[in-house]
Structure 1
């Protein structure tokens, strides 16, 4: 059996995302960044009016990437803190970690969803921040494990009509990760972490006909003679999702970019765990005209073919405006406009667990 223990408490704080959303009404358990600052972070007080300042110099910034701090806890045990992806570069992760008063020394593992720099670019910056935090506040904290797929590309790029138009910045190397204080740990297979409260998948099966990878994806390949060149790479086989099982609620699935297709991701999670899907979080990769035809069948699967339908879908990062509109039309308030700085808390219910039934797919 796949080892994954159900949790009594789940909390996620979004440290990097493309969007900042302050105004929209959120469901119970969701908290806007502004409220967190005003109620938890001791905001500066205006000496003239005696009113707390909205201290915009020290709030989160948006960036094209994704990073989520996941807290999981089973009653009677200590919490586990897992960072899922690190955003695109050194600045946004550093600013937002400071803005959200994140205690980085408590984070004992970073999970990289896949080797793309909008998810790996902040890793070295985060590890250096954590090392400084450990030095100042928790000298005996264990080194931070960095959970990676072993197939790190030399370079990845983007092509259009057969021409490579740009390459992505390089992902951090294993040597750079070690130098920054991390402990690289490679996994091609699915495995449980954080006291077996978080599942990191292995290779995601590609079964859905309309989800056919990343158009224009290319990877640099070196030959034995030392020469190299670009090769088409529509399917990024190093991509992984993460899943948490909340007692009495079901699965919370993190799919940072969904190059494999969010339907493929959800199908694999349902087959693996035989649990209903409570929440889907992250990039659905449905933005842009090339991917627009996938929106309708994706929404149909999530709203109509997956039973029970997910309680919440949080389309973030690379999901795209059109996909968000379609999901809201199908799911109503179940489609949540999440963004950087938001915090989501879900409490388990062991008594309600008795009424949970296995999911089905039509």
Structure 2
């Protein structure tokens, strides 16, 4: 990455939840405020009061998509860079929420696909179609090259494949629908150097043992039908990070199949910057993952020094870890959801007196 940015804004376009009324920290705004202040609200002809456009409010869906807006300065908002991180699960949700929020498509120069799972790629082709149709431009699509033929779910103990996930778009389909495919196995900077997209995430934490029940279909080399095999480690998964001046790293981990502790350890080792905010799915929902919650929360709240200022457990995190994080971090655990916006403005590092991060052994 280039030097830390002074401006970062995040708009959550797709998430499993919506939340209109819970108190949010400074810099976070509810969707209602957006509709009443950032858009021209219709006035009722009788009362003269703005009408709340409920039909434009975001819908929730099982998936994730966040629009990341970055700038190295606060003086030139017209030069903000826009990166779309994932596209949700289907062709409708992202498009609907973009329209409802009035989000312009033109500035979105790149889509980063965190990993090949349909709840993160399902809206990609429709987004590319719409941007190509309305603007006549191509969109860079940043992907890991190891795209699976198919992925499925085979829960233990039987390990029978009970379903296949919808197929991810192929590289050829992405190109045909107005995308320009960029394949990246290694970490790299995008958006003028303001956003870091990781490479493969090292697995170093003993209790983070991957996606339970994950399987991958591999065709035979001769073109005949293939077979399913266990795939605990989703090695094409990548996180994104933005370094904010005087605050530290904001980490985007869409699903954390690698484990959020592994993600944080990699970011700390790579950048030697404190973690200001963790955003996205922690993949700790369900009874089979309950034993990972306590060590995860302990790491984030006690072993990582300084602890993150904010953790936004979204998408596949699950209710139990939200409760545990709130108990450990208080208002530092933020109930973010679709339609929310976060604005972070940097401050000089010397005024912030940032400490280098460290990880306490337990």
Shift of residue 353 of structure 1?
5.8
1:173-322, aligned counterparts within 5 Å?
A: 173-225=170-222, 226-322=224-320
- The answer to whether residue 141 in structure 2 is matched with residue 146 in structure 1 is yes
Task: Identify the residue that residue 125 of structure 2 maps to in structure 1.
Answer: 124
Task: Identify the residue that residue 105 of structure 2 maps to in structure 1.
Answer: 104
Within 2, Cα distance between the matches of 1:214 and 1:159?
A: 10
1:20-99, aligned counterparts within 5 Å?
A: 20-75=18-73, 78-99=79-100
Aligned 8 A contact 2:244 2:346 in 1: yes
Aligned 8 A contact 1:105 1:133 in 2: no
Aligned 8 A contact 1:43 1:53 in 2: yes
Shift of residue 237 of structure 1?
0.3
Task: Identify the residue that residue 164 of structure 1 maps to in structure 2.
Answer: 161
Within 2, Cα distance between the matches of 1:353 and 1:193?
A: 28
Task: Identify the residue that residue 114 of structure 2 maps to in structure 1.
Answer: 113
Aligned 8 A contact 1:105 1:131 in 2: no
Shift of residue 354 of structure 1?
6.4
Aligned 8 A contact 1:247 1:349 in 2: yes
Shift of residue 319 of structure 1?
0.3
Shift of residue 351 of structure 1?
5.0
Of 234-243 and 176-185, deviating more is 176-185
Within 1, Cα distance between the matches of 2:103 and 2:351?
A: 32
CA RMSD of aligned residues (A): 1.2
Within 2, Cα distance between the matches of 1:170 and 1:186?
A: 18
Task: Identify the residue that residue 139 of structure 1 maps to in structure 2.
Answer: none
Shift of residue 42 of structure 1?
1.1
Aligned 8 A contact 1:16 1:96 in 2: yes
- Give TM-score, length-normalised by structure 2: 0.96
Shift of residue 281 of structure 1?
0.1
Ranges in structure 1 where 5+ consecutive residues have no aligned partner: 136-141
Task: Identify the residue that residue 138 of structure 1 maps to in structure 2.
Answer: none
Within 2, Cα distance between the matches of 1:130 and 1:300?
A: 43
Shift of residue 81 of structure 1?
0.3
Within 2, Cα distance between the matches of 1:199 and 1:93?
A: 23
- CA deviation map 1:28-72 (0-9, x unaligned): 000000110011111222222222112111111000000000000
Within 2, Cα distance between the matches of 1:220 and 1:48?
A: 61
Within 2, Cα distance between the matches of 1:329 and 1:236?
A: 30
Secondary structure of 1:290's counterpart equals helix
Shift of residue 4 of structure 1?
3.7
Secondary structure of 2:193's counterpart equals coil
Within 1, Cα distance between the matches of 2:225 and 2:120?
A: 28
- Give TM-score, length-normalised by structure 1: 0.96
Q: Which among 14, 17, 40 is matched to residue 15 of structure 2? A: 17
Ranges in structure 2 where 5+ consecutive residues have no aligned partner: none
Secondary structure of 1:104's counterpart equals coil
Within 2, Cα distance between the matches of 1:40 and 1:107?
A: 19
Q: How many residue pairs align between the two structures?
A: 354
Within 2, Cα distance between the matches of 1:180 and 1:4?
A: 32
Aligned 8 A contact 2:56 2:101 in 1: no
Aligned 8 A contact 1:157 1:218 in 2: yes
Q: In the superposition, relative to structure 1, how do residues 354 and 249 fare at CA in structure 2: closer, same or farther (>3 Å)? A: closer
Aligned 8 A contact 2:139 2:179 in 1: yes
Aligned 8 A contact 2:27 2:344 in 1: yes
Within 2, Cα distance between the matches of 1:81 and 1:229?
A: 40
Q: In the superposition, relative to structure 1, how do residues 341 and 352 fare at CA in structure 2: closer, same or farther (>3 Å)? A: farther
